[in-house]
Amino acid sequence: MPIPLKINLKIEYSLDNGCVNRQTVILIKKKTESTLHITLKLLAYLYFYKMNRKLIIEPKFRYRRFKPDLVAFRNPEIPHEMKPEIDIWIECKKVKLSKLMKLARSLPSTKIYWFHLNHYIKRKLKTKAFSDSTNVKLIGVTLNRMNQTFVERSLLSQHPIWRVQQTKNSQLQISILNSKIDVDFQAIN
């Protein structure tokens, strides 16, 4: 039986004021999880990094049998006995639109995001109508096949370090080893 893989990723995030935040993010790749799924979780985390959200990757939290890939609570200091209010719920993989719609109906004050590759989301949306009136936002990630493979390989290397700089509101430049990769995020709806 394959053993889950623990990834200790060091991130150096350049902020607008010239400061650099350094952080180690620990990701666990389960045996059934693809490297693309891990990559999308990490890109979603970086997308919200500047907003000072206390995002939790792979929380030990379920809501009506559903488990988010990332979550942020409105008041993270509340006691565990109380039911926490969810601020942001993030899915980063192939997900059924029916699941997103159920979450939207049962969590109306929560911002729900679905991160996936641009071409996948656009193809999926052509097959099913999606209402603009929900609290679900679809974020397409532009990552070509070569860059995707390079990013995935870097995550699987020992002690990866990513240097991240936000170039626009919806674009990150990630330096891995001696290469730079531009990642665009596009709101689909």
Q: What is the 3-state secondary structure (H, E, C) of 43-103?
A: HHHHHCHHHCCCCEECCCCCECCECCCEEEECCCCCCCCCCCCEEEEEECCCCCHHHHHHH
pLDDT band for position 180 (cuts 50, 70, 90): very high
**What is the pLDDT averaged over residues 162-178?**
88
Cα–Cα distance, 92 to 176 (Å, whole number): 22
Query: Where residue 109 sits, what CATH number does that domain have?
Result: 3.10.640.10
Asked if 151 and 33 touch (Cβ cutoff 8 Å), the reply is: no
Q: How many domains does the chain have?
A: 1
Residue range 55-105, pLDDT digits in tens: 888 887 778 888 899 998 887 666 555 566 889 999 998 888 888 888 988
- Whole-number pLDDT of residue 1: 43
Q: How far apart are CA 18 and CA 56, in angstroms?
A: 26
Q: Could you tell me the residue range of the domain that residue 61 belongs to?
A: 5-187
Give the sign of the dihedral formed by CA 10, CA 119, CA 150, CA 20: negative
- Per-residue pLDDT reduced to its tens digit, 116-163: 998 887 777 665 555 566 788 889 999 888 999 999 889 888 888 999
Given a cut of 60, whether residue 26 has pLDDT beyond it is: yes
DSSP-derived 3-state class of residue 189: coil
The DSSP secondary structure of 107-125, one letter per residue, reads: -TTSEEEEEEEHHHHHHHH
DSSP states of 131-170: -TTSSEEEEEEE--HHHHHHHHHHHHSSS-EEEEEEEETT
Q: What is the pLDDT of residue 141?
A: 93
Q: How far apart are CA 76 and CA 94, in angstroms?
A: 28
**Pair of tokens at residue 120:** 């996948």
Average pLDDT, integer, range 108-113: 92
Q: pLDDT value at position 133?
A: 60
Residues 6+ apart with CB under 8 A from 156: 5, 7, 35
Q: Is the pLDDT of residue 33 over 80?
A: yes
pLDDT(46) > 80? yes
State the angle between helix axes of 145-156 and 35-47 in degrees (0 to 180), rounded to the nearest 10: 90
State how far the Cα of 176 lies from the Cα of 115, in Å rounded to an integer.
Answer: 21
Centroid of chain to Cα 178: 24
